[in-house]
Amino acid sequence: MTGTGPNIPIIDFGPFMSGFYGDRKLVAERMRKASTDWGFFYLANCGMAADSLTQAFMASRQFFALPLAEKNLVAWQNAESNRGYVGVKRERLDPARPGDLKEAFNLAPEEPGAGVPKNRWPQGHPGFRKVMTHFLDDCINTADRVLEAFALALQQPADFFVRAHDKHHHTLRLLHYPPLPEGFEPADGESRAGAHTDYGSITLLFQDDVGGLEVRTRAGEWLRAVPIPGTVVVNTGDLMHRWTNQIFCSTPHRVNVAPECRHLDRYSIAFFCHPNKDAEIVCISSCVGEHQPALYPPTTAGQHLQEKLTNTYGT
């Protein structure tokens, strides 16, 4: 752990949302640099109403407070649907380590015309569904603006990434890290969430004020990504790493069982953005050159995601 040295950048998104081209370009360039150096940045003034976030966290707390039997009625079933409740230790983000000390609930936009809805909503809690559906829309909007900035940063048409994400194959994930019992000592390598990289293009991460998120620097040290009120953490995932021919990094991160926060509940909400399953992922032209050959063959976003989920859940 390092307490000195450079820190994860904080970028003010306000000028991108309301500014002229010059302002927008400046913000996009900051995002490009942060994604290259860190694969992580805090975004301030992202345009999301504080109220929407407060409500989402409240609804999340209420959901996780339900009896386990009730949560299990909406249990996660398979990687293809990837929705519903995932119990404590069911998942290991770092396959070499014990199961993660967390529980989660995944939801996602319903595909229009796909028949039976796939989200697994708990019965008798219409408020939960309403708040989360609203929050999901907010996340999609914010992510689309971030993707526009990325397109500008990479000299692509403004809608380059937004179009590739327009089927909204995203996942919203509520996370709860329960307090650990008095005297708890983590088994070797046990943590709230094991070290991992995210699979998709970008992730928006909202954390409460407990802390515990750690990001691995390029020098290999673990740095705390402390909660900064009024900001959302944005990180670039494996797919963006591949798409940008490794220019944007997909940085390992984890949630550590730090002694000072071990006995506190921690809540976070992650919005994982995934391009359309049929989107062709070919190294972006501005990231490829005479001295920078494309490092990956084309794939589709769907193929990429399925491989990653299978590795995590073993299904």
Ligand X SMILES: O=C(O)CCC(=O)C(=O)O
Applying CB under 6 A, the residues found at the interface with ligand X are 175, 193, 198, 205, 207, 213, 253, 255, 268, 270
Q: What angle do CA 75, 110, 136 make, to 5 degrees?
A: 85
How many Å apart are CA 173 and CA 294, to the nearest integer? Answer: 33
Which entry of ligand X, Fe ion, none binds 301, CB below 5 to 8 A by partner kind?
none
Give the nearest distance from C-beta 91 to ligand X in angstroms: 9
Which of residues 198, 236, 272, 279 is near Fe ion by CB under 5 A?
198
* Sign of the CA dihedral running 27, 32, 36, 41: positive
Helix (H, G, I), strand (E, B) or coil at 176: strand
Q: Give the residue at shortest CB distance from ligand X.
A: 268
Q: State the nearest-atom distance from the C-beta of 311 to ligand X, in Å.
A: 14
Nearer to ligand X, 71 or 196 (CB): 196
Interface with Fe ion, residue 214, by CB under 5 A:
no
Closest contact distance (angstroms) between CB of 211 and ligand X is 9
198 or 238: CB nearest ligand X = 198
In the chain the first and final C-alpha atoms are separated, in Å, by 34
- For residues 261 and 118, what is the distance between their CA atoms, to the nearest angstrom? 35
Nearer to Fe ion, 91 or 166 (CB): 91
> What DSSP letter does each residue of 253-315 carry, written as one string?
EEE---GGGTTS-EEEEEEE----TT-EE---GGG-BTTB---S--EEHHHHHHHHHHHHH--
Residue (244 or 251) nearer to ligand X, CB? 251
**Residue 207, contacted partner among ligand X, Fe ion, none, CB below 5-8 A by kind:** ligand X
Shortest separation between residue 206's beta carbon and ligand X, angstroms: 9
| Nearest residue (CB) to ligand X, 16 versus 199 | 199
Residue 60 contact partner, candidates Fe ion, ligand X, none, CB within 5 to 8 A by sort of partner: none
Helix 50-64, helix 126-153: angle, nearest 10 = 130
Q: How far apart are CA 142 and CA 189, in angstroms?
A: 35
Q: Which residues bind Fe ion (CB under 5 A)?
A: 198
